[in-house]
Amino acid sequence: MKVVIPPIKSQGIKTKLVPWILEIAPKVNGQWIEPFLGTGVVAFNARYPKAILSDTNPHIINFYKVVQNKTMTAPLMRKYLEQEGEALSNAGNNGYDHYLKVRSRFNSGEYSPFDFIFLSRAGFNGMMRFGSKGNWNIPFCKKPNRFAQAYITKITNQLSVVSQIIPPEPDWIFYNKSFVDIISLATQNDIIYCDPPYYGRHVDYYNGWTKQDEARLFYLLSKTPAKFILSTWHHSDWRENEMINKYWNKFNIITKDHFYHNGGNIENRKFVVEALICNFDTTDFVQHNHGIKDKANVKQLELEWV
């Protein structure tokens, strides 16, 4: 399948895993629900007519809301990026002075969704990270000519495609709420896709992620009447995800090799065995598609949900 790539970038984006996820996702008559929307790449490719999409990062939700209500359009984004890109290329300190200007403007409380895209694309290595006070704190990528015409066209094309996919409310509703609030909205006709921060690995989640959060997520998914798919990591060459044995091996698990390109450090550019945790029958799918043997024992379960 040709994967729709959203205009927002972040570490851990599921672009290359979308076909695998959607192949496994059962078709339901209800809503597509995502408590951890992130970039939105899975939702935009699932294209359910009804969806509840949430993230605790208010800037992500604000961005997609202005796309939904047409306050932000591809032509407006092009004009903005051309203007700011030119200012970046002409700024002192090899572009850094203008990057700091936009970052200060954003962090002062304006929180412009246009500035949000600029910062995410001009920041180091496409990372998205916020400090304890909610301020953007990614350093500059040190590329003053970052916003060449071809790059601007790429971003605006992505925005244009996404804007055509997102229907108006109430068909798709965007929330800035906790996963606890969102999962509780699901019914037996819905499907929940969860892509929470990966416990024990580097994450850029807006509010952090703790053992207590993982336990709470397990409890809620164990009780939901909806079908769910949870993305997480299974193991790497060095260690296993302790949460698999503690919680998630009570469900069906499918694994696959995946290469994450996270950050500038070479140790972060490694294969990780990705896992999909499901509360529905997955017998028809390859269960253990990776090259490292003798890891956690995974059992196929038959589950019934009321």
Mean pLDDT within 257-266: 60
68-77, pLDDT tens digit by residue? 999 999 999 9
The per-residue pLDDT for 154 is 97
Confidence of residue 304 (pLDDT cuts 50, 70, 90): very low
Q: Does the pTM of the predicted model rise above 0.85? A: yes
Whether the pLDDT of residue 263 is over 70: the answer is no
Which tens digit of pLDDT belongs to each residue from 48-70? 999 999 999 999 999 999 999 99
pLDDT at 176 over 80: yes
Q: What is the mean pLDDT of residues 108-121?
A: 95
In whole angstroms, how far apart are CA 117 and each of 17, 84, 240, 265?
Answer: 23, 11, 35, 24
Q: Over 50: is that where the pLDDT of 300 sits? A: no
Confidence of residue 111 (pLDDT cuts 50, 70, 90): very high
Task: For domain 15-67+168-289, say whether CATH 3.40.50.150 is its number.
Answer: yes
Give 106-141 as a 3 state SS string: HHHHHCCHHHHHHHHHHEHHHCCCECCCCCECCCEC
Sheet holding 191-194, edge to edge: 172-175, 51-54, 32-34, 191-194, 227-235, 271-278, 252-259, 288-289
- How far is 160 from 148, CA to CA, in rounded Å? 18
Rounded Cα distance between 258 and 246, Å, is: 23
Task: Let me know: does 84 contact 118? Beta carbons within 8 Å.
Answer: yes
pLDDT for 270 beyond 70: no
More confident position, 18 or 304: 18
* Statement: residue 305 has pLDDT above 50: no
Instruction: Name the range with the highest mean pLDDT among 125-134, 136-145, 175-184, 246-255.
Output: 175-184
Average pLDDT for the chain: 88
pLDDT of residue 206: 60
Q: What is the mean pLDDT of residues 142-160?
A: 96
| Across 127-142, average pLDDT | 87
Residue 130: count other Cβ atoms within 10 Å of its Cβ. 17
Q: What is residue 9's predicted lDDT score, i.e. its pLDDT? A: 86
CATH number for domain 70-164, candidates 3.20.20.70, 3.90.180.10, 3.30.1540.10, 1.10.1020.10: 1.10.1020.10
**Average pLDDT rounded to a whole number, residues 133-142:** 90
Please compute the mean of the pLDDT values over residues 67-90 and round it to a whole number: 98
pLDDT in tens, 205-245: 566 788 999 999 999 999 999 999 999 988 877 888 899 99
Q: Which sequence spans correspond to the domains of the chain?
A: 15-67+168-289, 70-164
Neighbour tally for 101: CB within 10 Å: 14
Report pLDDT for 204. Answer: 55
